[in-house]
Amino acid sequence: MIDYHSGLDLAVFHAINWHGGGPLDAVFLVLSARWFGIAAGVALLAHLARHGGRRRLALLVAFAVAIALSDLVGDQVLKPLLGRMRPCYALPPGSFRWVGAASDVGSLPSLHSSNFFAMAGVAWAAGRRAGIAALVVAALVALSRVYLGVHWPTDVLAGAAWGLACAWAGLRAGRALPPRARPLERPPPPAC
């Protein structure tokens, strides 16, 4: 892996990676926790299943495709291809705060950001209220990754862009499903 970041990336990283205190650390650790991502995904799936209406199946397919692309392609193709060091491994110890756990693998794109923005893109297609809530959560998750010292700001921006692109692809796949068959109509009652 290679350490490549700009001066602007470093300046924004230091501006976000400040000591906000124990409660803020705890909030951002929760937002970055694996269980939180799973819970958010399950909550969105439940919302889509309950409120998806006639588009329910298309939205569920969009969710599955978006997350599969975001996470699998991001992890297996983009991170190895781009090979960027995380700030917690690139910067000298003591020059930043490292609060959250991070594996020593590529940091570009942030998969936390891409997965949450992929979910947000699908949520937006399901409805504006759900979309706004999901976008706020996705932005907070992205911010948490920089605050905790495990991603560069451009990692989370690239993750957001990648996640939204995956949501778009997922929505296209969902729209490509054949229309559901109409229920059989009952014949009119016999005339007396």
CATH code linked to domain 21-175: 1.10.606.20
Quote the CA–CA distance of 144 and 103 in Å, as a whole number: 16
Buried b or exposed e, range 98-118, using 16+ CB within 10 angstroms: bbbebeeebbbbbbbbbbbbb
pTM for this structure?
Answer: 0.88
What tokens appear for 184 in the block?
Answer: 């059989």
- Angle between helices 111-126 and 56-68 in degrees, nearest 10: 170
Quote the CA–CA distance of 63 and 163 in Å, as a whole number: 11
What tokens appear for 162 in the block?
Answer: 């990648």
Print pLDDT tens along the chain (192 aa).
788 888 899 999 999 998 888 899 999 999 999 999 999 999 999 999 998 788 889 999 999 999 999 999 999 999 999 989 999 898 988 888 888 788 888 899 999 999 999 999 999 999 999 999 999 999 999 999 999 999 999 999 999 999 999 999 999 999 887 765 444 455 667 776
Query: For the chain, what are the domain ranges?
Result: 21-175
